[in-house]
Amino acid sequence: MESVKLEQQERVVLITIDRQPMLNALSRQVLAELKEAVESIDVKYSRCVVVTGAGGKAFVAGADIAEMQSMSKSEAEAFGSFGNSVFRLLEKLEVPVIAAVNGFALGGGCELALACDIRLASENAVFAQPEVGLGITAGFGGTQRLPRLIGEGLAKQLLFTGERISAQRALEIGLVNHVYPADELIPKALEMAGVIAAKAPIAISATKLAVEDGRFMSLDKALELEARHFASCFESEDQRQAMSAMLEKRKPQPFRGE
């Protein structure tokens, strides 16, 4: 892969989008490589993924405008659908995904971060959905995930004005969870990934699925779903040994995902 790097660091996978002269803009090729990278993750071994951009200036400066400029309606539809399918793959991965947003996260870059489970940002991160200034809508999930995350009023403001917001503002509105000095972002993201990786993997993926799949159910149905995920953990060795360890006042064995 030319523009997407995948590094296995014990149980954590670091994905870096690296198309630096173009500020990591998402062309079809980059999206295809991102798909390949996500599909290659061994979710039985890996327990958390961190996604970032190379170069320190941009996380991802959006979908590739040069490539989009001459697209026909049907080509644009295929491009949007492909982008959505790749981001959905990431969103539905069994293991949590953390976006380490280290600079411009514009358009498709902001949408990539939105498709991750957790967003951390560097102090120089900048977020925007500037598409309406280019004569298009957000096309990789921004019109759907942004309102769900930060509320419809603020999301519509960002989507209608295209305004850029700072990492600090993104923190205030719940678009990101933490802001760190640039040189601390990746270590902090990997540290959080390490904490997640040390927890019981069956419980983590059941938790992710309960949140994801329960979101649009009635509360009654969603609580039934949660009960099923809760119950499924009781078939795991990890649950038995961790609870015994707690009751016997000793540390649990490392979780095995069994």
Q: Is 64 in the site for ligand COA (CB under 6 A)?
A: yes
Among 107, 141, 142, 201, binds ligand COA (CB under 6 A): 107
Total residues in contact with ligand COA, by rule CB under 6 A: 15
Inter-residue contact 33 to 5 (CB < 8 Å): no
Report the C-alpha gap between 164 and 128 in whole angstroms. 5
Q: Judged by CB under 6 A, which stretch of 6-14, 30-38, 85-93, 101-109 contacts ligand COA?
A: 101-109
Ramachandran area for residue 103 (φ above 0: left; ψ -120 to 50: alpha; else beta): left
Q: Judged by CB under 6 A, which stretch of 130-138, 148-156, 172-180, 181-189 contacts ligand COA?
A: 130-138
CA atoms within a 13 Å half-sphere pointing along the CA-CB vector of 14: 20
User: Tokens representing 134?
Assistant: 């280019």
Shortest Å distance, C-beta 63 to ligand COA: 5
Among 13, 51, 63, 185, binds ligand COA (CB under 6 A): 63
Q: Is 80 in the site for ligand COA (CB under 6 A)?
A: no
Inter-residue contact 222 to 209 (CB < 8 Å): no
Q: Judged by CB under 6 A, which stretch of 48-56, 102-110, 210-218, 232-240 contacts ligand COA?
A: 102-110
Q: How far is CA 258 from CA 146, 167, 248, in A?
A: 36, 39, 21
Query: For residues 22 and 43, which CB has a smaller minimum distance to ligand COA in the complex?
Result: 22
Q: Is 23 in the site for ligand COA (CB under 6 A)?
A: yes
Inter-residue contact 112 to 127 (CB < 8 Å): no
Q: Judged by CB under 6 A, which stretch of 21-29, 48-56, 175-183, 243-251 contacts ligand COA?
A: 21-29
Q: Which residues are catalytic?
A: 111, 131
Among 7, 65, 183, 195, binds ligand COA (CB under 6 A): 65
Q: Is 245 in the site for ligand COA (CB under 6 A)?
A: no
Strands 58-60 and 48-53: unpaired
First to last CA, the chain: 33
CA 60 from centroid of its chain's CA atoms = 13
Question: DSSP letter at 226?
Answer: H
Binding-site ranges for ligand COA (CB under 6 A): 22-23, 25, 61-66, 104, 106-107, 130-131, 134
